[in-house]
Structure 1
Amino acid sequence: MNTKHIYKIIALSVILSLVSCKEDDKKITLNDATPITVSVETVTSNSDNSALTVSGSIEATNNATLSTRLMGYVDRIYVDVGDVVTKGQLLLSINSSDLKAKSAQVTASITEANAAFQNAEKDYQRFKNLFEENSASQKELDDITARYNMAKARLEAAKQMKNEVDAQFAYTNIRAPFKGIVAAKYIEAGTLANPGMPLLSVESPDNFDVMVRVPEHVISKVKPNMDVRINVSSINARFNGKVKEVSASSTLSGGQYLVKITLKEPTKNIRSGMFASVEFPTIEGDIASASQSIFIPTKALVHKGQLTGLYTVSQQNTAILRWIRIGRSMGENTEVLSGLTAGETIITSSQGKLYNGAKLNIK
């Protein structure tokens, strides 16, 4: 063996030794990683005798979207979103120059019709007296009577046209229908308003309803005045509610029946548009079923894109990420439909960031 080959063998041995040292360092690093302190819970299955929970949104009991029957440019908007308004307060005005011109024309027509009516009335009274004195024929009285009635009708028509124009003026000045706050503004000053076009939205902040959709297989058991529990997760609050209305048809709601629920305990923190979950009481055999279900704390879930998972504890006391399929939510718990079985241990909270293979220190 020549010297050149000996040098190659020595160099290869050195490289293999360095690689082996690095692998040993990695193993030491992994083995020496600081355990993450976690809280765990053993999964159990329960008979699903729980209440039905459905999601919905909060709406103000008194709410109105204001519009106009006229076409015209918005002259001025007197309020901003969030302003408190009183009943009858002027909110928005629309240019009414053409309506004012029409009003002037109608006023002139009334003056003309009134003059014609007074003249016809005098002629009618005169001929009526002459007819009684046998100084006028029946035909002459009939003709004068017809003229008198026509003049009276024209005057009445002109007055009714005036009433119509005056009524249209109400649509140039948009006023608050009740005491509340301005919830939305859909138009700006100088913009052309069209008939039926939303201009402003006003709602009362004192009373709220929750609108939910209930499946058809349980709707027969939902009755007016039924007590329910309402959970508003965005403000971390729970309220008592009562079923106010139950829809009799699902034709326009995709097979779901609309149910309106009134909050018994309004709060200043509630705003219309917030999401809420409503828990109906248990109705055995209908809303509840006798099947075995698994519920876990919602806080244990991990969301990545469209996937939902959780961390379980392996036999080596390490964290394992498990992807699951979830179902309905009930308060602070969520139903697991697949991917988890009873008896497994899941991580409900941790004092550090979890990852696959992380060593655990269980409380």
Structure 2
Amino acid sequence: MAFDDQESKPAKWPFVVTALVILVFSGVILGIVFLPTRHVWTNDAYVSAHYATIAPRIPGQIIEVLVDDNQSVKAGQVLARLDPRDYETALMRSKAQLVHDAALVSDAQASVERQPSMIEESKAEAGRISAQLVYARQNAQRYHNLAQTGAGSNQERQLTDASMREMEANLRSMNARIVAAEAELPILRARHDAALKTLEIDRAVIKQDELNLSYTDIRAPFDGMVGEKTVQSGNYVAPGAALMAVVPMDQLWIMANYREIALRHMRPGQHARIHVDAYNMDLDGIVDSIPPASGAAFAPIAPENATGNFTKIVQRLPVKIIVSPGQPLAKLLRMGFSVETSVDTQLENVVDEQQHSTTGITAR
């Protein structure tokens, strides 16, 4: 009878095991949630780069495209060419204008150099007339005396008086001409200076025309790979029109969007592990900088939390992680790849360090 009672009594060990599993699982979950970890991970990350949009600086017709999609290019390599004939003609015209204006400068300089001689010539002529005037006055006085004594005629006296007055008028005219010639000298010098400034303008125009002609060769600004090519020979393009993009393949970096609470121990210089989904490979990286704002702060339509319907949402900040140099596998990266990043923060006390520092330790 006792043997039957023992068989009917349920075993307790399944409940104990279940309770232990639940306790261990809850402990692990609580530990993950509440205990700090030196490794912070996110899968909200991708490969990014500051690429260049290639656009012409001058209008013109494309006569040649020298690269194709996904082609590697070197800095300074010609990517496309515009028709240069209009700009060659403009350069020839500006050079001819420079020669013309240089001749005007020479003429103005000769006028300035000739003017003092003309002034001296006028002064010499005035001296000659002045000497003749002395003789004419003396002669007029003699005939005046002779006319009073009856030894000379009135006609001769009147003739000498007229000759004297003519000499006086000639002297006044010559003196006025001297004043005008001296006053014209600053004007000639000003014209010469203006002609010299015109030469400077002509040289600037030539420089600009030379630049415009050089802009007909559209070149790569740095080493990289061509993408988004939309140009074809025969297209007429305007300044600023996007022709293609050049991505600097040696300057790719990781944009890892970490939750704000994950930045508690993060700072620039920490080691990061980058897992590339496309090739199932890992790369080493370094935290470059912590951004100045969250992604929502730069959104075209920023959230407005003052409307009365605020809901607290944990924000994400795009942490910049650069790929460590000297890794051959890094050449497989492409802009836009999805990656996973894990930063070894070593549980650094960022708050305490910042409290004793006058600079921003989370900025580069």
TM-score of the superposed pair, with normalisation by structure 2: 0.59
Correspondence 1:100 to 2:88: yes
Partner of 1:119: 107
TM superposition shift of 1:77? 0.4
The structure with the greater share of residues assigned to helix is 2
CA shift in 2, pair 1:233/1:119, >3 Å: same
State whether residues 131 and 141 of structure 1, in contact with CA within 8 Å, keep that contact through their aligned partners in structure 2.
no
Ranges in structure 1 where 5+ consecutive residues have no aligned partner: 1-41, 288-363
Name the counterpart of 1:222.
266
Q: Which whole-Å deviations, capped at 9, do the CAs of 1:48-96 have from their partners, x for residues lacking one?
A: 14433232221357x4221112222221101112323232221101223
Rounded Cα–Cα distance in structure 1 between residues aligned with 2:188 and 2:208:
30
Shift of 1:233: 1.3
Structure 2 unaligned segments of length 5 or more: list them: 1-21, 124-177, 303-314, 351-364
Structure-to-structure mapping, 1:76-225, within 5 angstroms: 76-127=64-115, 137-219=181-263, 221-225=265-269
Q: Is the 8 A contact 1:229 1:241 kept in 2?
A: yes
Report if the CA contact (8 A) 1:217-1:286 is conserved.
no
The equivalent residue for 1:252 is 298
Give 1:120 deviation, angstroms. Answer: 1.0
Go from structure 1 to structure 2 and tell me whether the alpha carbon gap of 1:217 and 1:174 turns closer, same or farther (over 3 Å shift). same
Q: TM-score normalised to the size of structure 1?
A: 0.59
The equivalent residue for 2:342 is: 279
Q: Secondary structure at the match of 2:253?
A: strand
Count of residue correspondences: 245
Q: Distance in 1 between matches of 2:118 and 2:262?
A: 84
Query: Does 1:239 pair with 2:283?
Result: yes
**Identical positions, percent:** 24
Which residue is equivalent to 2:333?
Answer: 270
> Partner of 2:332: helix, strand, or coil?
coil
Question: Counterpart of 2:267 in 1: which secondary structure?
Answer: coil
1:125–1:249 distance in 2 versus 1, CA, 3 Å = farther
Moved more, 90-99 or 42-51: 42-51
What is the CA RMSD across the aligned residues, in angstroms? Answer: 3.1
Report how far residue 134 of structure 1 moved.
9.1
Distance 1:108 1:200 in 2: 37
Is the alpha carbon distance of 1:139 and 1:242 closer, same or farther for their aligned partners in structure 2, counting shifts above 3 Å? same
SS at match of 1:234: coil
Q: Partner amino acid for 1:179?
A: D
Counterpart CA distance in 2 for 1:211 and 1:128 is: 77
Q: Deviations over 1:225-256 (max 9, x none)?
A: 12111111111011111012332234325764
Structure 1 pair 242–266 and aligned structure 2 pair: CA distance change class (3 A): farther
Residues 230 and 279, structure 1, Cα contact 8 Å, conserved in 2: yes
Instruction: Note if contact 1:110-1:158 (Cα within 8 Å) is conserved in structure 2.
Output: yes
Which protein is bigger by CA-based radius of gyration?
Answer: 2
